[in-house]
């Protein structure tokens, strides 16, 4: 393996792995060679999911077209990335000729429960990571790809398709991309958009004025009644998106803000009674579903007192310290 692989080389290898699993029933979670390959480069996980989505697209297109799939997959050669995507397009065309419109299906609803984080490949090759308590609708159409974020937060890794822009709606806020990666979060104070790759275009539906372009490593908060606010540095964006790995990354945030983050993921809530304690700053990396570990770290570092029951983890000043 070379020291650095191009995106095309990674995509080709991802397609090869996806074809092996699809054709031979291999369980991805238990294959050490696949896991070693995925661990070798952070770009490989997304490429692998896109390749699996392409195969899923192909299978669904064949089903709609009534294609004969009796031939053994084991006997067929493993397709290249180009063959996978070309096959998917051919299957879709066959479905349209047969009177079945693949892209005209009803929107797909994706949602998560409290504490749940999902990574879902879409049929166009894009990937969406969905944070806790989030609901969104996916509508892939012939001329556009439309995502409606009903609540919560999601990060999108968008497959390039200049003919079909990818647009996320969050209330009146719109975020448009062709091939890029970005997150959108609906909050009480507006819609928080953070870009990790490429460029997105943002605007508020029905509001006059130029559209705002946001580049990688930058973020913006848009509200329907106020001017956009540029927010967060590249390092802050990476910490804010640590939830994609099931983590909360703290680098000087107040204990009050940290508690609010943990409370988004857990029914067992962290309560800080002392306002001065809530303003203390803290650094650390924690699992989203382990508020107990966070409380223990605060107790050991700051000398706070921890009281727990089934519903609450209460932090207060330890008067004896």
Per DSSP, helices labelled H in 253-311 are 255-263, 275-278, 291-302
Give the domains, in start order, of the chain with CATH numbers: 7-101 (no CATH), 106-236 (2.60.120.1440), 246-317 (3.55.50.30)
pTM (predicted TM-score): 0.68
Tens of pLDDT, residue by residue over 279-305, are: 999 999 999 999 999 999 999 999 899
> Side by side, which strands form the sheet with 166-170?
108-111, 135-140, 145-151, 166-170, 173-177, 199-204, 212-215
Tens of pLDDT, residue by residue over 149-170, are: 999 999 999 999 989 999 999 9
**Which residue has 């029914």 as its token pair?**
267
For helices 81-97 and 44-65, angle between their N-to-C axes, nearest 10 degrees: 30
Instruction: Name the pLDDT band for 26 (thresholds 50, 70, 90).
Output: low
Whether 34 has a pLDDT exceeding 90, the answer reads no
Residues of the chain above pLDDT 70, percent: 76
Tens of pLDDT, residue by residue over 2-20, are: 456 777 788 888 888 877 7
**Which residue has 């556009």 as its token pair?**
144
Q: How far are the Cα atoms of 115, 264, 302 from residue 261, in angstroms, in the given order?
A: 11, 5, 19
Contact status, residue 51 vs residue 43, Cβ threshold 8 Å: no
| Per-residue pLDDT, 319 | 64
> What gap in Å lies between CA 321 and CA 305, rounded to an integer?
9
> What gap in Å lies between CA 308 and CA 271, rounded to an integer?
10
Instruction: Name the pLDDT band for 50 (thresholds 50, 70, 90).
Output: confident
Contact status, residue 63 vs residue 135, Cβ threshold 8 Å: no
| Per-residue pLDDT, 5 | 76
Instruction: Name the pLDDT band for 93 (thresholds 50, 70, 90).
Output: very low
Average pLDDT, the chain: 81
| Per-residue pLDDT, 70 | 36
| Per-residue pLDDT, 303 | 87
């Amino acid at each position: 393996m070379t020291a650095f692989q191009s995106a095309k080389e990674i995509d080709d290898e991802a397609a090869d792995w996806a074809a092996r699993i699809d054709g031979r029933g291999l369980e991805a979670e238990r294959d050490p060679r696949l896991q070693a390959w995925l661990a070798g480069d952070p770009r490989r996980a997304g490429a692998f999911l896109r390749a699996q989505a392409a195969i899923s697209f192909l299978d669904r297109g064949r089903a709609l077209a009534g294609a004969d799939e009796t031939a053994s997959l084991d006997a067929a050669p493993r397709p290249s990335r180009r063959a996978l995507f070309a096959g998917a397009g051919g299957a879709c065309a066959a479905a349209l000729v047969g009177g079945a419109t693949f892209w005209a299906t009803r929107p797909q609803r994706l949602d998560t429960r409290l504490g749940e984080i999902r990574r879902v490949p879409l049929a166009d090759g894009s990937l969406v990571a969905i944070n806790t308590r989030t609901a969104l609708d996916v509508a892939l159409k012939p001329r556009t790809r439309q995502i409606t974020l009903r609540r919560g937060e999601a990060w999108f890794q968008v497959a390039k398709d200049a003919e079909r822009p990818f647009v996320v709606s969050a209330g009146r806020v719109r975020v448009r991309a062709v091939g890029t990666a970005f997150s959108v979060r609906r909050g009480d104070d507006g819609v928080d958009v953070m870009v990790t790759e490429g460029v997105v275009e943002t605007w508020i539906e029905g509001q006059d004025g130029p559209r705002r372009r946001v580049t990688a490593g930058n973020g913006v908060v848009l509200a329907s009644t106020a001017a956009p606010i540029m927010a967060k540095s590249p390092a802050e964006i990476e910490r804010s998106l640590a939830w994609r790995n099931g983590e909360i990354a703290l680098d000087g945030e107040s204990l009050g803000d940290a508690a609010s983050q943990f409370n988004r993921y857990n029914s067992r809530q962290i309560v800080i009674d002392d306002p001065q304690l809530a303003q203390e700053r803290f650094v650390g990396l924690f699992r989203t579903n382990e508020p107990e570990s966070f409380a223990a770290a605060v107790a050991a570092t700051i000398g706070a007192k921890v009281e727990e029951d089934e519903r609450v983890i209460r932090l207060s000043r330890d008067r004896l310290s």
